[in-house]
Structure 1
Amino acid sequence: MKRLSLLAIVLLAFAFPGNAQDSIKKHPAVKPADPELKVVLDSWNDIGRKLTEMAEDFPEDKYDFKPTPAQRSFAEQLLHAAGSTYYFTNPAMGLKPPAAEDPKRDQYKTKADIVAFVKKSFADGAAAIQSKGDKGLLTEVVYLPDQKARVLDIAYGLIEHSGEHYGQLVVYYRLAGLVPPESRPKK
């Protein structure tokens, strides 16, 4: 038993050279977690950036591409993802959610119209998040006619929803023979 203890001490000495003071000096202090406001805002802006980049990048002549007739077109996917952000933004700002689920394609005829709408929808959401501050993210708002939810929970739900549509749009890129912006080599 003494041999096993001695062996363990020797192994530990080799595994951790120097003394504990040297080890502490070499490693900086652990950075504290970011405030919730920064975390949710960064996530919101990141998915908004990805969808905006796709909207700007995808060829306009392929905007009405559908993998199957029953699915939304590329443009309709973007309009749906961007329009759904107002199910967060409106309640967070004390307004009613949108009456219609999706903006109609005939309202946004060109690629430029859709790009502008995607940018605006995520910018409006980011402004709503910032206006709430850390404490305001925990306030409850009427989310659906008969349901309350915390602002933070609605924001994360819409971030996830937008991420799901981002994933679908990646497939649209691949089916159209294109490489999505996030999958391209970085310069």
Structure 2
Amino acid sequence: MRTQLTFVLFFISLYGNAQNPSVLAFSEKWDNSKNYLLEIAKSLPEEKYSYKPTEREMSFKEQLLHIKQNMDWLGKAYFNAEIQEEDLKNIDKQALIEALTHSFDSVKEAVLKTEESVFNEKIDFFAGEKTKWQILNLLQDHVTHHRGQLIVYLNLNNIKPPKYVGW
């Protein structure tokens, strides 16, 4: 019994905000978003990672890198996510998938550690004053936006996208 209580207290100290319904909803959606994006990333053969539908578009690989860089920036800047700077120019498919996994997990961990009162704080953002709740929404919306583009890339390469995973 004492061991269980110690574990519970330890978990609460690490993830004190883990019982907030909005944070729990974000956490579940974030995990599903991560798994879905990783399935998409795995679906395209590495030799097609440079594919882009038009010259003005990012390549498949560039889209994935852009998603990762945005998560890293928002996670570090607004939730103190522990993410190391990496040189990703010559990263291969497997290493990119691992880097994406790490970014998703680091953001989730940082959000779970964020005190509930912090989410309502207003911050200066390039698009105007926002709360950290709005930054969480932006994180998810950004992934969803670019993931939708990646699904089109798969279809244009005659690759059936993985089955959609929502909430």
Output the CA distance in 2 between the equivalents of 1:79 and 1:106: 9
Please name the residue that 1:160 is paired with. Answer: 141
1:85 aligns with 2:66: no
Is contact 1:77–1:165 with CA below 8 Å preserved after alignment? yes
What residue is the counterpart of 1:6 in the other structure?
none
Equivalent residue, structure 2, for 1:51:
37
Where do 1:108-119 residues align within 5 Å?
A: 108=91, 110-119=92-101
Deviation (angstroms), 1:53: 1.6
Which digits, 9 at most, give the CA deviation of each residue in 1:75-95, with x for residues without a partner? 001110111112321122358
Kindly provide the amino acid, as one letter, of the partner of residue 56 in structure 1: K
Which position in structure 2 is the counterpart of 1:106? Answer: 89
List alignment gaps of at least 5 residues for structure 2.
1-19
Q: Identify if the C-alpha distance between structure 1 residues 121 and 134 changes in structure 2 by more than 3 Å, giving closer, same or farther.
A: same
Counterpart amino acid of residue 126 in structure 1: K
CA distance in structure 2 between the partners assigned to 1:59 and 1:91 by the alignment: 33
Q: Does 1:150 align with 2:139?
A: no
Q: SS of the residue aligned with 1:137? A: helix
Q: Which amino acid aligns with 2:118?
A: G
SS at match of 2:32: helix
1:123-160 Cα offsets, whole Å, 9 max, x none, are 1110111011433322334444x954321110101201
Return the match for 1:73 from 54, 59, 64: 59
Alignment partner of 1:126 is 2:108? yes
C-alpha spacing 1:122/1:93, structure 2 compared with 1 (3 Å): same
Aligned-pair identity (%):
25
More relative contact order, 1 or 2 (CA 8 Å, 6+ apart): 2
- Give the letter aligned to residue 119 of structure 1: T
Q: Which amino acid aligns with 1:35?
A: P
Q: What number of residue pairs does the alignment pair up?
A: 143
Specify the code of the residue in structure 1 equivalent to 2:93.
K
Residue identity opposite 2:105 in structure 1: A
What is the CA RMSD across the aligned residues, in angstroms?
2.7
CA distance in 2, matches of 1:60, 1:126: 27
Counterpart for residue 38 of structure 1? 24
**2:67–2:142 CA contact under 8 A, matched in 1:** yes
Residues 155/121 of structure 1: CA separation in 2 closer, same or farther (3 Å cut): same
Q: Is the contact between residue 76 and residue 105 of structure 1 (CA under 8 Å) also seen in structure 2? A: no
Equivalent residue letter for 1:66: K
In the superposition, relative to structure 1, how do residues 94 and 140 fare at CA in structure 2: closer, same or farther (>3 Å)? farther
TM-score, length of structure 2 as denominator length = 0.74
SS state at 1:106 partner: coil
